Structure 1
Amino acid sequence: MTMTTVPETVACEPFDGPLRALWGGGLAPEALESSLAHATARLGIPDLRDRAFWNAADSATITAIRAAADVERGTPWPQPLLSQFAAFFRDGNRTRYEDAVRARAERLTRAVVMAAVTGATRWVDEAADGVLLACEQSGWSWAAHDDVFSAHSEVVPREASPYLDLGAGELAAQLAWADHLLGPAFDERVPGLRARVRHEVRRRVFEPFLTRRDWHWLGLDGHVHNWSPWIQGNVITAAVLLEGDPAQRAELVARALDGIDRYVATLPPDGAPDEGFAYWWNGACRAIEALEFTRRATGGALDAAGVPALVATVSFPHRMHLGGDWYVNVADGSARLRGGEPWHAPFAWARRVGDADAARHALAQRTTAGPVAAVAGGLGRLLHALADPEWVAGKPAGPPLVARSWLPSIEVLVARERAGEAGLALAVKGGHNGENHNHLDLGSVIVASGGVPLVVDAGKTTYTARTFGPRRYELPAMRSEWHSAPAPRGLEQGVGATFRAEVLAVDEAGVALDLTGAYALAPGESWRRVAQLDRAFARITVADEWRLEAGEACVHYLLRAAPERVAETALRLSADGESVLIEWDRQEASVALDDWELDDAELCAVWGARLTRLTLTLPDPAGHLTVTIGGER
């Protein structure tokens, strides 16, 4: 008999955060063992033997899944290759490997759902093939995260030291849900597969999680970001569904909840993450999902609805909404919905905490004739959406389109002409340049008309090695000169938290910022900006005032399209059926229009072939400039 040595668990001091303050002794090992005793039966997602549940599964969702699954069954499975993994270390390309991993995961999700819905052996076998392929995958981490190259100068994942990252956590949770749904069929058709799943999850996820405390995403140095709830939420799912030892399961869940508590402690009272709307889904939303899963698994013993920041954060998506599928996209985020966002998660949480606007906004994204969730969101998110009758039967109304949102923690203002209508809208960004996933965008403005951004933030580019390397801020999309921001003496903004904006005043439709600290200015130099929406006249003014020792003063505006010059001090900007007039009050300002020919796939998918930058330059060392944006008068 071969004996295996179980690595020794590394002890850790519990973190005294909001969750521990709320739950107290509920996080003690013996209490968790007891509250998790009947966890899987409480989740509301039965296995394939519950034919009443699966026969009643939403037909639009199952029809869409069946159409894709029928086409791919019998064809070769997507296979992540070493050459794709190594590409990241050779030329910085991370998408080739991650796309292959994602394609296989999505096929596995479809196979698992089809097996549960039909109970057919052909689909059980298809799902089993996908599960074993995942178990045999050399490494579960994504190449961009794995330390095999930095630690060993190698590009082959090391079996002896698996790296626990987002990819590994996602795969562990997917296999756990597959096992939960199809376990009885796997026992009959492929005996031994479930044991293999548990072995692989234990050695690749549970053991590294319990035996190492040097994972950066634990936040032990105080820097906590979206990886924390994303990974640790998946650890909780896998532990509850796969770990048979009650004490070990309680230890895993307790450790993961302690880590999520560190993340929750960083959420400000307004619930706004500094990573922006796009990362809300894989940060605050992941925390909510993990904690709701925990509430169900513990029969309500551990309920996070009493944490104010978690209650507040569900409003963040609709407070960043411009209209249609357009959102305020500060930091690494797309201005447009990419599709596949798990809107059921904020819907369910908003109902729990009584946020009617957040629930309405989430339900507004639900297409009644379409699937309840996208396969791309992951198997767990799809299952929770399928199992919520209120979501499945929900009748979408229009989004709330609130008149004003001011988020002091990140210093972002969004103001619109009238509540409930897209109309003219203004977004202004303060904060500092050391935020997670930040761009150098202090003082930048976004202007939308009819929900369509016309003065824009370019947003996220395709991730490569350069995106998070020392040359990040050489990328145009990250630089202040390609944001709608000032450039005193032609300077760009500095990198790091010491470069910041100061809020001087904020009201119902505007904000005044001191941007002096955003640049490496000399003592005595200054730059202030006031951005204001005038609802009565449907126009936005951006007023800059500066004092420099010498040199020119520039302001940049990033435009959706090339504008038409209609007067010496006016341009007309039109796109997607919307139009605004951009005017300035200084005739002596020199005007430059520079096209940015886009060559990045993600930027092109949002904006098309190009964006245009308007630069207004004045020779005054001390001076002022007011730009007005609105409808033609």
Structure 2
Amino acid sequence: MTAAPLPAPDVADRSFWASDRVVQALAPTTATADAERGTPWPQTLASQYARFFRDGDRTVYEANVAARHARLTRATLAALLDPRTDRVDEVVDGVLLLCEQSAWCWAAHDDTNTRFGRVTPTVTEPHLDLGAGEVAAQLAWIDHLLGPVLDERAPGVRWRIRQETQARVLRPFTERRDWWWLGVDHPIMNWSPWIQGNVLAANLALEEDPDRRRAVTALVAKGIAAYWASLPDDGGVDEGYSYWWQGAARALEAQDLLQFAGIEQDPAALDRIHATIAFPHSMHLGGDWYVNVADSVARPLATWPWNVVHAWALRVGDDDAARHAAGRRGLPGGLFDERASLPRAVRMLSDAAWAEAPTTAPPLVGRVHFPSTGVAVARSAPGSARGLAVSVKGGHNDENHNHVDVGSVIVALDGVPVVVDAGKPTYRAGTFGPDRYDLWMVRGDWHNVPRIRGVEQAPGEQFAARDFEVSDDGADSRLWRARLDLGGAYPVDGLEHWWRETTLDPDAESVTVEDSWAFSDPHTPAPATGSTAWHWLLAGDVTLTPGRAQVRFTPDGGPATARVLSLTWDPDAVDAELDVRELDDPELSAVWGEHLTRLRLTARTEAPSGTFRVNMRPTGSVPQEVA
């Protein structure tokens, strides 16, 4: 192992921490840290912890945990710039608060209630989850970055860090190997690299026994290799864009730490790493908008560590991924955002190639298809946010962070989604329990799919798309089509097929979604379960007239010339109504504003076979910034 436990300059490197670039980058953070020093720290109370088991609320407790982490991150960075006593004391206060916190895990993950019937942490049985890993990693990086000044100002603090991290994270990681997130009776998903990468940081910085340090490092190397092996060859992520950052990106960061610790790269992982590096920019619609499926959000609420993508894109030779990542540097908060955690903030600041990378235009790729997850995306003007972009979702209805959304379509106009997927709600107890599919934003009725003869799509892996195909017409690949059979996603007797074909015509600047269906017995009357209805979830203001809905969505004020998307259909075939959904969930309203509107097109007759189509095209002038 190298002399330094972690790959970043510590407080003794004054040429780095006192450099003009770093001082300027951290000026807002330092100002905030100095202003809040001396004020009460965010408190994590037993009553807040217990709320998850009492009424399902996890937000209050986790918000205070996050606020405590953020303040400690700011205090640490301020002390690195100038390790004077008042700034170091602030770090010590924050460190001891974490060490004295009864639980590092989040209440939503703790098994204290199921095992012991308790609503407070069982301190003798620490639970190793995402929250515990985050605390251990933050303390490990603080120990590495500020070790000498902590020893000078507060002898004993570093000993306490080691004692708590051993008891709460390192020993549970080695002594219990039945954690479900290791892939024990459960598919490997984003928790695995997220937790193991943080365990690795704690191990490298805080484990003093060289034999144990090597053993834990080897376990993490095996775990990260298993995560890479679990990813599909095409790099797709069924949890969507947001969770790429908490899965694949976490694995990339762990891979960097393994390399720093002298563990050679697993050659078998390189192809999957190369493939998954392309995922973020493949989901890009324009500006800060992305295709979202499952519990992803369409508009990120925090700045992600794009330096990780940039570094790996350069390493594997993906110019588009590197361009896209570098383009994120120009966004507000793109250089640094303390919400990204102390390890991510420090590694971003100390990445010389990232600091010198010129801001570039994003590639805005024209066509992409991930067969593994059944997600396809196309845009009418490759290389530009101007015009239409469309995505189609296949897959099945038991994916990670699943929504009932087989066949759902998203349409963006000039880089902004207008026909949308609501995305991630604020998590509560019922979000991942037996009542998950009662949540409106998870149900099929609030995705852009039909209700067939009164029956919604059903959750479960067996309810899946069939025969998903993506094709281009002509040598110049102008016309784009995605076609799949939705019939398998519905528990409807006698339904032979329900083909959905989505066509993007760049020349006509239009998207057409055509459904064609057939039942096995054309003479069997429609059941009394209800009528067939097509649902379209729309963002912004919607105006409904016979055979037409016009949608204008101008988030954050938007450009004065923002265009309108018109949806048209045969008015004789269906009855049209609008269902306005007021958004009282803060995470949803932060993305979409005060409301979303569902356009509901209900069939007037129930034919045993037939075709119905909706056409979408913009009207108005092209906004200047996307022309």
State the TM-score bracket (shorter-chain normalisation). Answer: over 0.9
User: Does the alignment pair 1:608 with 2:593?
Assistant: yes
For residue 31 of structure 1, what is the aligned residue in structure 2?
none
Does 1:617 find its partner at 2:602? yes
Q: Which residue number corresponds to residue 483 of structure 2?
A: 512
Letter in 2 for 1:320: M
Q: In the alignment, is the contact (CA less than 8 A) between 1:291 and 1:303 conserved in 2?
A: no
Pair 387,504 (structure 1): closer, same or farther in 2 beyond 3 Å: closer
- Please give the residue correspondences for 1:367-382 in structure 2 after superposition, counting only pairs within 5 Å: 367=330, 372-382=335-345
The residue correspondences of 1:395-406 to structure 2 (distance < 5 A) are: 395-406=358-369
Aligned to 1:167: 131
1:138 to 94, 102, 111: 102
* Of 417, 428, 432, the match for 2:392: 428
Instruction: Indicate conservation of the 8 Å contact 1:332/1:439, yes or no.
Output: yes
The verdict on how the C-alpha distance between 1:370 and 1:163 changes in structure 2, with shifts beyond 3 A counting, is closer
CA contact (8 A) 2:73 2:341 kept: yes
> TM-score, normalised on structure 1?
0.91
Please tell me whether residue 530 in structure 1 is matched to residue 522 in structure 2.
no
Does 2:292 correspond to 1:329? yes
Q: Are the structure 2 counterparts of residues 222 and 142 from structure 1 closer, same or farther at C-alpha, using a change threshold of 3 Å?
A: closer
Could you tell me how far apart the structure 2 residues matched to 1:629 and 1:602 are?
28
Would you say 1:190 and 2:154 are equivalent positions? yes
Map of 1:387 onto structure 2: 350
Q: Distance in 2 between the 1:571 and 1:112 partners?
A: 53
Deviations 1:241-269 (A, max 9, x none): 11111110011111122222221111001
Superposed CA offset, 1:25-62 (max 9, x none)? xxxxxxxxxxx2x2526x54121111111111523321
SS state at 1:191 partner: coil
Q: Are 1:209 and 2:170 an aligned pair?
A: no
Deviations 1:350-377 (A, max 9, x none): 1111111111111111138856221111
Distance in structure 2 (CA, Å) of the matches to 1:144 and 1:590: 43
Deviations 1:93-144 (A, max 9, x none): 0011111111111111111111111121221111111111111111100000
* Helix, strand or coil at the partner of 2:360: coil
CA shift at 1:428, angstroms?
0.6
Q: Is the 8 A contact 1:335 1:606 kept in 2?
A: yes
Count of residues in correspondence between the two structures: 594
Q: 1:340 offset after TM fit, Å?
A: 2.3
Q: Confirm or deny that 1:365 pairs with 2:365.
A: no
Query: Aligned letter for 2:532?
Result: A
Indicate whether 1:597 and 2:582 are aligned.
Answer: yes
Distance of 1:153 and 1:44 partners within structure 2: 43
CA distance in 1, matches of 2:51, 2:3: 42
Aligned equivalent of 2:208: 244
Q: In the aligned structure 2, how far is the partner of 1:339 from the partner of 1:370?
A: 9
CA distance in 2, matches of 1:572, 1:198: 60
CA drift at 1:278 = 0.8
Task: Select 1:579's aligned residue among 564, 567, 585.
Answer: 564
Give the 3-state SS of the residue equivalent to 1:507 in structure 2.
Answer: strand
Equivalent position to 1:257, from 197, 217, 221: 221
Residue 625 of structure 2: aligned partner: none
- Asked if the contact 1:485–1:555 (Cα under 8 Å) also holds between the matched residues in 2, the reply is yes
1:94 aligns with 2:49: no
Q: Does 2:49 align with 1:85?
A: yes
Match of 1:355 among 307, 318, 329: 318
Whole-Å separation in 2 of the counterparts to 1:579 and 1:487? 27
Identify if the C-alpha distance between structure 1 residues 258 and 451 changes in structure 2 by more than 3 Å, giving closer, same or farther.
same
Is 2:616 aligned against 1:629?
Answer: yes
What secondary structure is seen at the aligned counterpart in 2 of 1:571? strand
Q: Distance in 2 between matches of 1:561 and 1:48?
A: 49
* Cα drift, residue 396 of structure 1: 1.0
- CA drift of 1:591 comes to 1.1
Preserved contact between residue 229 and residue 269 of structure 2 (Cα < 8 Å):
no
Partner SS for 1:544? strand
Confirm or deny: 8 A CA contact 1:305 1:352 kept in the other structure.
Answer: no
Which of 501-510 and 145-154 deviates more?
A: 501-510
Aligned to 2:419: 455
Verify: 1:120 aligned to 2:84, yes or no: yes
The 3 A distance-change label for structure 1 pair 203 and 504 is closer
Distance 1:208 1:389, change over 3 A: same
Matched residues in 2 for 1:417 and 1:66: separation?
45
Q: Which residue of structure 2 aligns with residue 342 of structure 1?
A: 305
**AA matched with 2:294:** A
Secondary structure of the residue aligned to 2:226 is helix
Q: Which amino acid aligns with 2:4?
A: T
Q: What is the identity percentage for the equivalent residue pairs of Structure 1 and Structure 2? A: 49
Instruction: Give the counterpart of 1:312 among 275, 288, 299.
Output: 275
Contact persistence 2:394–2:468 (CA under 8 A)? no
Secondary structure of the structure 1 residue equivalent to 2:26:
helix
Contact 2:285–2:389 (CA under 8 A) maintained in structure 1: yes
| Aligned counterparts of 2:436 and 2:504: Cα–Cα separation in 1 | 33
CA deviations 1:546-599 (Å, max 9, x no partner) are 124515322111111342234x32222212123111111352311121111221
Which residue of the partner structure matches residue 492 of structure 2? Answer: 521
Structure 1 residue matching 2:4: 3-state secondary structure: helix
Question: What does 1:494-505 correspond to in 2, within 5 Å?
Answer: 494-505=458-469
Gaps of 5+ in 1: 1-35
RMSD, matched Cα: 1.6
CA distance in 2, matches of 1:405, 1:442: 18
Aligned to 2:409: 445
Structure 2 SS opposite 1:58: helix
Tell which deviates more after alignment, 500-509 or 366-375.
366-375
Aligned to 1:108: 72
SS at match of 1:460: coil
Change (3 A) 1:311 1:498: same
The within-5 A match list for 1:23-62 is 36=1, 38=2, 40=4, 43-56=6-19, 57-62=21-26
Shift of residue 305, structure 1, vs aligned partner:
8.7
After TM superposition, give the deviation of residue 337 of structure 1 in Å: 1.6
For 1:203 and 1:330, locate their aligned partners in 2 and report how far apart those are by CA, in whole Å.
38
Paired with 1:369 and 1:610, the residues of 2 have a C-alpha distance of: 26
* Cα distance in 2, alignment partners of residues 573 and 138 from structure 1: 50
Letter in 2 for 1:289: E
- The Cα of 1:504 is off from its aligned counterpart by 4.2
Match of 2:623 in 1: none
Q: Give the distance between the partners of 1:158 and 1:306, measured in 2 at CA.
A: 38
Confirm or deny: 8 A CA contact 2:303 2:333 kept in the other structure: no
Q: Distance in 2 between matches of 1:387 and 1:464?
A: 37
Code of the residue aligned with 1:583 in structure 2: it is T
**Mean alpha-carbon deviation: is it higher for 521-530 or for 468-477?**
521-530
Per the TM alignment, residue 213 of structure 1 is displaced from its structure 2 partner at its CA by 2.1
5+ residue gaps, structure 2: 473-479, 555-561, 621-627
Q: Give the superposition deviation at 1:439.
A: 0.3
Deviation at 1:380, TM superposition (A): 0.6
Aligned counterparts of 1:579 and 1:336: Cα–Cα separation in 2? 20
| TM-score, normalised by the number of residues in structure 2 | 0.92
1:331, 1:540 → 2: CA distance? 23
**8 Å contact 1:210–1:252 — kept in the other structure?**
yes
CA separation of 1:226 and 1:504: change in aligned 2, threshold 3 A: closer
After superposition, the Cα gap between the structure-2 partners of 1:459 and 1:368, relative to the gap in structure 1 and judged at 3 Å, is closer
Stretch of structure 1 that moved more, 74-83 or 164-173: 74-83
Shift of residue 505, structure 1, vs aligned partner: 2.4
Preserved contact between residue 563 and residue 619 of structure 2 (Cα < 8 Å): no
Answer yes or no: is the 8 Å Cα contact 1:40–1:240 preserved in 2.
Answer: no
Tell me the distance in 1 between the aligned counterparts of 2:70 and 2:268: 32
